[in-house]
Amino acid sequence: MQVRVMSIKSPFRFLAALVLVPGLTGCFASPGGGSSPDGGPFGSRLRVALAFPPAENFSPYGADATLLSRLGVTEGLTALDANGGASPALARSWHREGDRTWRFTLREATFHDGTDVTPSAVAEALTRATKAKPAPAALAGVRLTAKPDGDRGIRITTTAAADPVLPMRLSSPSLAILSPKAYGKGNPDPVGTAIGPFEITKVSGGGSASLDRFDDYWGGRAHASGIDARFVKDGTARANAVRTGDVDIAEALPVAQAATLDKATLQEAGTTRTTSLQLNTRSGPFQDPKLRAAAREAVDTSTLVKGVFEGYADPGAGLYGPAVTWAESKRVKPTGRADAARPDGARITLATYDNRPELPEVAQVVQQQLEKAGFEVKLEVREYSRLESDALAGKFDAFIGARNSLLDTGDPVGILAGDYTCDGGYNLALLCDKNVDRAVEKADATDGTGERQDAAMAAEAEILGTDAVVPLAHQRIIAGVSTKVRGVVLDPYERTLVNAGTRR
């Protein structure tokens, strides 16, 4: 999950304190009526169970950016294609002008508030993102300016250095384009100001949100009339809701529930998500690289894959897993690792969250493995929104989380800058190593797809050499989908779940 610490005033504040509901029966209404893009009756409303409630009051600059994109609310200038390259979205075309400037041509589009998408509105949205604190992960280490250029053009310039992956960077959900109305004091409010096929129209204190189809969507009217979304952190409850027909789509199902579902309702796909053990390098026992090495040697990833993930994952090989198809052939062996020291009862606090149902079980197994190696381990499990700020502040010695390595930008270097450099906005290991920063900076300045991949793998080796992170498993997406539903999108970047073509 891509996450940042934010604190803003918004109508959605109550959702951060979501209370788990044991069942979903009766929670979803499915009104009918209306017509589809082809003139016939449009599909019913989609009933969707999501694993994570808004952690940052629907701010587009942090974790909730992907929540908004998965529900079809927000879009950016570009999107990612199946190969991880940039493809048209709000921008229908672009070209490079010189070393540091790109010109994007916008398509005709309308915001949810009825105003036109103009070059000045897009420039303002991007300018606001550059000023957000902390900066969106997609802008880690990047400074840019955006200016209107004619009736349909916008010119974007990186001010410090060339950015060879700018079109990919602009596909990030955290750089979604909102109307000027969204921007006031604090962070922007996406309600009624986005451009996607669905618009948020209502939220409730029970942890749900209603979305209606946005009929003026530039890509054509959606097939479904709307979405009734509920945030249900309990994975078994989400699986039960699929079995009983209370929901049409349930994301992030526990692997333990996969065997209980009818095969016709079970969908899985590869993902670029990796579950890792992050070790606090700034304070506590893991300041010592020898104890970090001891923790790495104590972990048996094959046990986790077989026992916890039940085969729906691969053993952790690095920051990039098998879904990043080029990674294994380019992987570089880490060097300079410290020799492991005996823990001798070193006391550590290991934290994780329960929104992803496998993580507490992963943490329990890792706890046992660390204790067997000689650590004394206290395990702390919370709901993610109640855990994030403490994790980023370094209040835990170790943290187990699941992270999509290509989520923020689609660029393999993006996660390295955001998660493992001194100025990284999501640096759970609190790592600040000059060799790592140097390698990431070199990779970020490298042009050419193959050359950039090589440089990213060299930087990965530097990071793994610090033992600040121990890759545990590369996961697969498991979703429950009604046999009546068509067009659910299980993309490896986990940016999309429903779109204009999803229907029931």
Give me the sign of the Cα torsion angle 45, 68, 253, 491.
positive
pLDDT of residue 329: 92
Torsion region of 413: left, alpha or beta (phi above 0 gives left; psi -120 to 50 gives alpha): alpha
CA-based R_g, the chain, Å: 22
Q: What residues in the chain have per-residue pLDDT under 70? A: 1-43, 205-206
- What domains are there in the chain, each with its CATH number? 1-73+196-248+482-504 (3.40.190.10), 74-189 (3.40.190.10), 270-476 (3.10.105.10)
Question: What confidence score (pLDDT) does residue 152 get?
Answer: 97
Give the whole-angstrom CA distance, residue 426 versus residue 428: 6
Sign, CA dihedral 214-219-225-230, equals negative
Q: Taking the CB of residue 8, how many other CB atoms lie within 10 A of it? A: 17
Q: How far apart are CA 83 and CA 70, in angstroms?
A: 19
Measured CA distances, 319 to 304, 356, 420, 441, 475 (Å): 17, 19, 11, 17, 12
Q: Where are the beta strands (DSSP E) in 260-374?
A: 266-279, 313-315, 347-353
Tokens of 498: 């429903």
Cβ–Cβ < 8 Å for 229, 107: no
Backbone angles phi, psi at 22, to 5 degrees: -75, -25
3-state secondary structure of 400: strand
Type of residue at 60:
P
Structure confidence at residue 5 (pLDDT):
31
Q: Rounded to whole angstroms, how far apart are CA atoms 485 and 227? A: 13
Q: Which residues pair with 211 in a beta bridge?
A: 200, 227
Q: The dihedral of CA 452, 454, 455, 457: what is its sign?
A: positive
The residues, any chain, with a CB within 8 Å of residue 316's CB and separated by 6 or more, are 274, 275, 276, 301, 470, 471, 472, 473, 474
Own/partner contacts of 483-488, CB < 8 Å, gap of 24 or more, are: 483/264, 483/265, 484/248, 485/46, 485/248, 485/249, 487/223, 488/249, 488/267
CB count, 10 Å around CB of 16?
Answer: 17
Phi, psi of 308 (to 5 degrees): -90, -50
Report d(CA 296, CA 380) in Å as an integer.
Answer: 20
Helix or strand holding residue 391 (H, E): helix 388-392
Owner of token pair 């390698």:
439
Tokens 């349909």, residue located = 152
For residue 378, the number of C-alpha atoms closer than 13 Å in the C-beta half-sphere is 8
| Listed residue (252, 213, 286) closest to 467, CA to CA | 286
Which residue is it, tokens 């170790």?
A: 398
Indicate the pairing of strand 101-106 with strand 153-158: antiparallel
pLDDT digits (tens, 9 = 90+) for 409-419: 888 888 898 89
CA separation (Å) from 11 to 71, 221, 389?
Answer: 18, 27, 21
SS (H, E, C) 435-466: HHHHHHHHHHCCCCHHHHHHHHHHHHHHHHHC
Question: Residue 481 has what pLDDT?
Answer: 97
Residue 134, preceding peptide bond in cis (omega within 30° of 0) = yes
**pTM (two decimals):** 0.74
pLDDT of residue 17: 31
